[in-house]
Amino acid sequence: MVGPQSKVVLVTGGSGGLGRAIAGSFVRAGFSVVVTSRSAESLGAAAQEISSDGDAALALSCDIAQKEQVEALRQKIRSERGIVQILVNNAGLAQAASFLNMDDKLWDETLKINLTGTYHCCKVFLPDMIAAGWGRIINIASTTAKVAYSHVTAYTASKHGVLGLTRTLALETARLGVTVNAICPGYLNTERTRENAHRMAEKTGRNAQDILDVFARSSPQKRLIEPEEVANLALLLASDSMSGMTGQAINVDGGAVMV
């Protein structure tokens, strides 16, 4: 692994289940971790949870859809921890709705957070990585970055965009000491998945647990993916041993999508 004590990791969407798992893995590995999200209250609770083993994670609220807030976040992190050399773009919005019933605001908000927010973070934090001659950008995409799923038009479109951004940045930074990769999880065992199951149940009259079972059965392993499985891969991608891997989109989905 690259020397943890000298590396600052920023995890966006750090208050959610997957964000907490990723940030916690980096904390336990000895990295200097910063977590951010829009909600200061939930973010503080998440930071306290992942810092329970001794090393403290720094919690800083930020709306990544607002570039000026991301720029202010960069300055705050520089003053308290140093430059960010590992960026995990995990923040995202995923709400289920059929295309014709989807409110235009949901489309706008999903693209603004999932794609434009990721763009803002890359644009703001990449220059410091290039200047240092070493950096890792890990974009949390989804299997919907590669294939389509019903009732998640905005989410699917945004994640396809994240994958395109990942590949283009990988090409432009290939000789600059920076790698850019995407992780594509399947259905995760998180509160977001359960919320969508309940939302679909309300609209269809089906039982939420039945819908969760359908999600699980979409994988050949017939299960949901644990957040820690994605976190383990993020930690690996941040290591020096993976310096030759860039521009890749790696599925963690129990074999659901084999492309």
**Structural domain boundaries of the chain?**
4-186+226-246, 187-224
**238 close to 86: Cβ distance less than 8 angstroms:** yes
Q: What is the pLDDT of residue 207?
A: 86
The whole-angstrom separation of Cα 193 and Cα 144 is 14
Instruction: Check if 155 is active-site.
Output: yes
Other beta carbons within 10 Å of 148 = 10
pLDDT level of residue 5 (50, 70, 90 thresholds) = low
- pLDDT band of residue 195 (cuts 50, 70, 90) is confident
* Alpha carbon of residue 60 to chain centroid: 16
User: Reduced to 3 states, what is the DSSP secondary structure of residue 246?
Assistant: coil
Predicted confidence (pLDDT) per residue in 18-57, tens digit: 999 999 999 999 999 999 999 888 898 888 888 765 568 9
* Position 155 pLDDT exceeds 90: yes
Question: To which H or E segment does residue 62 belong?
Answer: none
- Per-residue pLDDT band for 205 (boundaries 50, 70, 90) equals confident
Is it the case that residue 2 has pLDDT exceeding 70? no
Encoding tokens for residue 15? 């208050």
Higher pLDDT, residue 208 or 3? 208
SS3 39: coil
Residue 204 has pLDDT above 50, yes or no: yes
How confident is residue 198, by pLDDT bands cut at 50, 70 and 90? Answer: confident
Interval 46-79: pLDDT, tens: 888 887 655 689 999 999 999 999 999 999 999 9
Is residue 1 scored above 80 in pLDDT? no
pLDDT reading at 166 higher than 80? yes
Query: What one-letter code names the amino acid at 251?
Result: N
* Strands (DSSP E) found in 62-215: 84-89, 135-140, 178-185
Please give the C-alpha separations between residue 217 and each of 56, 114, 187, 211, 213, in angstroms, as whole numbers. Answer: 38, 26, 10, 10, 6
According to the model, what pLDDT value does residue 54 have?
57
Q: Give the chain's mean pLDDT.
A: 93
Select the CATH number that applies to the domain covering 4-186+226-246 from these four: 3.40.50.300, 3.40.50.720, 3.30.1330.200, 3.30.70.141: 3.40.50.720
Q: Is the pLDDT of residue 162 over 50?
A: yes
For 45, phi then psi, to 5°, come to: -65, -40
pLDDT at 148: 95
CB 70 within 8 A of CB 124: yes
